[in-house]
Amino acid sequence: MANIKSVSKKTKAQAMGMHTEVLTGRTQQKFFNPDEAENFYYFGTHDVDFNKRTDLDVKDMTAAEANKEIDNLMGQGFGTIVIKNPQGKHSLGVGILNKLNLIFEGSLGYFGMGSCDGPIVRINGRVGWSCAENLMAGKVVIEKNAGSCFGAAIRGGDLICKGSVGARTGIDMKGGTIIIGGDAGAFTGFMMQRGRIIILGDVGINLGDSMYDGTIFVGGEIGSYGSDAVDAELTKGDQDWLKRKLKVAEIDENFDVSKMKKIVAGKKLWNYDNLEPAEKKGAI
């Protein structure tokens, strides 16, 4: 039976003053006030010491047990955690909201490192679908290949795959940078809204389909462009940024960025319903 008493209690969000606004249009925005800083700490985050290191063998653990143990170790102040034998398990390393050096000695399954904000992660293997979904900040480096929906809906941070990735990389992304050392599949950058994707190899069909904004850089061949994805001029600023990003990502700092293609939103799909029929046809 549900706990009736809890209904009358204020939720954490209410206690933080998040539900006092009139919920219309831009009045929903809540701006950060330094005087209320303590209200903006994540619940369950930890202060960790990067020099305090430990290993965790998750071979005989479920994903929930492994994640709980990672949380326990962070609670003890460990700032560098090496995960042994992940063996393709799903949902490992999710929901880490503080700084942490996390190293996986092996491969992850689906949804690895989802909903994280801050950790620096190195995965010495491959990852399955939806790696680092909703990443807010931090850096995730995958040494081998990645599955589809890589970096879905990320808001920030750097997500780097040194191998190839599947379809729909960066789908719905709203910020951050995704860097692919190899090839990428179909619908890369599908409905992306902000952020940048760098692909050094080839990319499949429907690149940047229905993208609202953001930028995609491609070093190899493009299977086809998606609706409203168009070429743009690669500026000197773009090239400098690309060089710096590739160097920081330790992926291929000698790559000739001057020959990369730059793809952006044509923005014809914006206000689509206001277009004339002939314009709609052109936009699609």
Partner 1 sequence: MCGIAGLIHRGKSSKVGYELQGMLQALKHRGEDSTGYALYGDTDGKNFIMRFKVGENVGEGSTSVAEDVSVYDERKKIVDNYLNEMGAKIIKEERILPYSLRYEIEYNKKDLLEFSQKIESIPGVEILSMGKSLEVIKDLGNAKMVCDRYNLDKLVGTHAIGHARMATESGVDIKSAHPFWGYPFSDVSVVHNGQLTNYWNNRRALENKGMRFMSECDSELIAVYLAEKMRDGASLEEGMKESLIGLDGVFTYFVATKDSLGMAKDTMAAKPLVLYESDDLVAMGSEEIAIRSILPQEIDTYDPFDGEVKVWQI
Interface ranges with partner 1 (CB under 8 A): 87-90, 105-107, 109-110, 125-126, 128-129, 144-148, 163-168, 183, 185-187, 204-205
**Cβ-based burial of 38 (10 A; exposed 0-12, middle 13-18, buried ≥19):** exposed
* 3-state secondary structure (DSSP) of residue 70: helix
The residue among 129 and 217 lying less far from partner 1, judged by its C-beta, is: 129
Closest approach, Cβ 88 to partner 1, in A, equals 4
Closest approach, Cβ 149 to partner 1, in A, equals 10
Closest approach, Cβ 242 to partner 1, in A, equals 24
Q: Which two tokens stand for residue 132?
A: 């680092």
Which amino acid is residue 248, in one-letter code?
Answer: V
Q: Which two tokens stand for residue 198?
A: 């760098």
The residue among 63 and 179 lying less far from partner 1, judged by its C-beta, is: 63
Phi first, then psi, for residue 152 (nearest 5°) are -60, 130
Closest approach, Cβ 130 to partner 1, in A, equals 10
Closest approach, Cβ 11 to partner 1, in A, equals 32
The residue among 144 and 194 lying less far from partner 1, judged by its C-beta, is: 144
Phi first, then psi, for residue 178 (nearest 5°) are -115, 130
The strand pairing partners of 218, in sequence order, are 199, 261
Question: Cα–Cα distance between 107 and 87 in angstroms, integer?
Answer: 6
